[in-house]
Amino acid sequence: MTRALPVLAALCALALGACGGEGSGEATGAEGAAAGFPARIDQQLGEVTIEDRPTRVVALDYPSADAAIALGVVPVGMYDVTYLEGGVQEWTGVALDGEEPELIDTEGGFPFEAILRLRPDVILATNTYPLISESWDELNAIAPVVGHVDAPGVDTWQQGVRQVAKALGRGPRAERLIADVEASVARVREEHPEFAGKTVSFFNYVAGDGLYVIDDDSDASIEFLRDLGFAGLTDEVARLPGQQGRAQVSAERYPTIDADLILGTSPDPAELEDLERDTLFSRVPAVARGAYVGFGIGPSTAMAFPSVLSVPYAIDELASRLAEALTADAG
């Protein structure tokens, strides 16, 4: 079940009238059927041309789906978030407002026959894992593929929205959306001057393995927090030895993750609760003074793989909790 999300709801109402309100129907005025077409899409894996404004869209990752939905085009098929009941991120469900695209399971690779059956005019894959380079020819044989500008997981959410908007002929609307989301972020930063200059530490806890701590200061989650005013990682965390931006930290080394504010998540909420009761974890200075925020997979995914819809969701979920944690020991 979805619930009201103030910033996300405001984005939908102000920028679009209603997210997905036009479905795949025809736009009017400057964003009409012929505007901007043929459209040439420049991207890392090779230029593609979209001859006419698409009406049937398939999205192979949720940031691409979010961009299309926010731009007023509900995909006929979209990425199945298989680890979630219902297969749709909470923020995406809010924006779909009852629409039910066919869900495409890509865990075992791209299901080419299932995609072909949907008869797409364009395939959106701006942030797709596995890398679409392995299936580029097969996908483009079905429909033009709109991929990443530089690399999946490297492109900003703004780049992704602009790629999708170019493919759908909705450039002006994309710029309004981007401006609205950036204004929401700036508003939170202004409303919470206590965030300014504060260091952060962010981990994913897996029972038996310990903490997997972000040690890359350019990680998307840390960039999200920096946009809110935070300074980023401590020097000690940034120096932790790790792989692919994550350092594994065992219980005896928990103090190394200390910062002005610690954020934690886990794929299993019960395991996170067990960690929060752990004596060694409770002795980390930030945790001991209440400057710790634990949360589920939704907000952590929203930050790690940001989209035009997930950023407002993350703000709604976290801004007040971060502020409360920073002031927990005040007075």
User: Which is higher by pLDDT, 129 or 304?
Assistant: 304
DSSP-derived secondary structure for 51-76 = -S--SSEEESSHHHHHHHHHTT---S
pLDDT confidence of residue 331 = 45
Residues 62 and 124 in one domain: yes
Residues 71 and 179 in one domain: yes
What's the whole-number average pLDDT of the chain?
91
Residues 61 and 120 in one domain: yes
Residue 67 lies in a domain: yes
Q: What is the mean pLDDT of residues 98-105?
A: 97
User: Which is higher by pLDDT, 153 or 195?
Assistant: 195
Give, in order, the Cα–Cα distances in Å from 57 to each of 60, 144, 268.
10, 10, 34
Residue 80 lies in a domain: yes
Domain boundary among 133, 165, 185: 185
Task: Report if pTM > 0.75.
Answer: yes
Of 202, 211, 200, 213, which is closest to residue 264 (Cα–Cα)?
A: 202
Of 161, 59, 148, 158, which is closest to residue 102 (Cα–Cα)?
A: 59
* Sheet with 122-124, edge to edge strand ranges: 102-104, 77-79, 57-59, 122-124, 145-146
DSSP bridge pairs for 214? 246
Residues 170 and 310 in one domain: no
pLDDT band at 210, cuts 50/70/90? very high
Q: What is the mean pLDDT of residues 270-280?
A: 97
Residues 31 and 68 in one domain: yes
Residue 331 lies in a domain: no
Tokens of 246: 């994550």
pLDDT tens string 108-136: 899 999 999 999 999 999 998 766 888 99
ω into 130 cis (within 30 of 0): yes
pLDDT band at 35, cuts 50/70/90? low
pLDDT confidence of residue 280 = 97
Letter for the amino acid at 183? Answer: A
Residue 12 has pLDDT above 70, yes or no: no
pLDDT confidence of residue 34 = 62
Residues 175 and 213 in one domain: no
CA 41 – CA 54 distance, rounded (Å): 14
Residues 122 and 216 in one domain: no
CATH number at residue 290: 3.40.50.1980
Q: What total number of domains does the chain contain?
A: 2
pLDDT band at 154, cuts 50/70/90? confident
pLDDT band at 8, cuts 50/70/90? low
Residues 229 and 269 in one domain: yes
Residue 1 lies in a domain: no
Tokens of 114: 């299932």
pLDDT confidence of residue 37 = 94
Residues 144 and 124 in one domain: yes
CB 311 within 8 A of CB 157: yes
Residue 175 has pLDDT above 50, yes or no: yes
pLDDT confidence of residue 152 = 82
pLDDT tens string 36-82: 799 999 999 999 999 999 999 999 999 999 999 999 999 999 999 99
CB 199 within 8 A of CB 262: no
CB 80 within 8 A of CB 103: yes
For residue 241, count CB atoms less than 10 angstroms from its CB and return exposed for 0-12, middle for 13-18, buried for 19 or more.
exposed
Residues 242 and 293 in one domain: yes
Percent of the chain with pLDDT over 70: 88
Domain boundary among 118, 153, 185: 185
Q: Give the containing element (helix H, strand E) for 236.
A: helix 235-238
CA 156 – CA 205 distance, rounded (Å): 26
pLDDT confidence of residue 329 = 61
Range of the domain at 275: 192-326
